[in-house]
Amino acid sequence: MDKLRGRGYNQKAMADKNTTCTVLISREQIATAVGRLAEEISRDYHDRHPLLIAVLKGSFVFLADLVRLLDFPLEVDFIRLSSYGGGKESSGRVKVVHDLGAGIEGRHVLVVEDIVDTGLTISFLLDYLKKKGAASVKLCSLTDKPSRRQVPVGIDYLGFTVPDRFIVGYGIDWDEKFRYLPDICFVGED
């Protein structure tokens, strides 16, 4: 465990012996950004009893940190979409693989996402939620990769703009690996 908490680590073989992970955004930077986002969201939603919908699985750590900084009534739900196979590229075909637990008609919905990349996944979801009759739908994303965008997406609350690198950690995986890293890292193959 100590090794994982080292700074600037360039770790070999945590799960794959030919993979290295390098810190892109530290846990301290993440904590500062989540605090800022919580303040922005609190200002806009403190009297709206919002429904926060986290996109599984990559957003679960972000959601958990975020909601603990929100000091007003809210609810959470989860949705799981698939657009990626086991690799690093989106297939572009999005489908719901685990739906919401209840209806969202008339609710103020805030989607909590880990990464907006091409934008295909989140465009699909925002559309899907609007069609279900939400009173409002806004987007909070921890990271944004604008250089890869294929469809326009408005991000209402944004943590970080990131370069065109494949990132992992802080809940974000590569083929189910690396979710447990406390920092956001990029992976490279030797």
Q: Known catalytic residue: 77?
A: no
Using CB under 6 A, which of 70, 120, 126, 129 touches ligand 5GP?
Answer: 120
User: From the list 11, 20, 26, 90, which residue makes contact with ligand 5GP (rule: CB under 6 A)?
Assistant: 90
Dihedral, 116, 121, 123, 125 alpha carbons, nearest 10: -120
Q: Which of 34, 38, 134, 168 binds ligand 5GP (CB under 6 A)?
A: 168
118 binds ligand 5GP (CB under 6 A): yes
DSSP letter string over 120-183? HHHHHHHHHHHHTT-SEEEEEEEEE-GGG-SS----SEEEEE--SS-EEBTTB-BTTBSTT-SS
Residue 144 near ligand 5GP by CB under 6 A: no
Residue 115 found at the interface with ligand 5GP (CB under 6 A):
yes
Q: Which of 19, 38, 119, 142 binds ligand 5GP (CB under 6 A)?
A: 119
Give the shortest CB-105-to-ligand 5GP separation in angstroms.
25
Q: What Cα–Cα distance (Å) separates residue 103 from each residue in 60, 131, 150, 174, 178? A: 21, 11, 30, 31, 33
Restricted to residues 65-84, the positions that interact with ligand 5GP (CB under 6 A) are: 83-84
Residue 136 contacts residue 108 (beta carbons within 8 Å): yes
Q: Given candidates 110, 111, 172, 181, which one binds ligand 5GP under the rule CB under 6 A?
A: 172
Task: Report if residue 22 touches ligand 5GP, rule: CB under 6 A.
Answer: no
CA–CA gap between residue 120 and residue 155 (Å, rounded): 13
Q: Which residues bind ligand 5GP (CB under 6 A)?
A: 58, 83-84, 90, 113-122, 166-168, 172-174
Q: Kindly list the catalytic residues.
A: 117
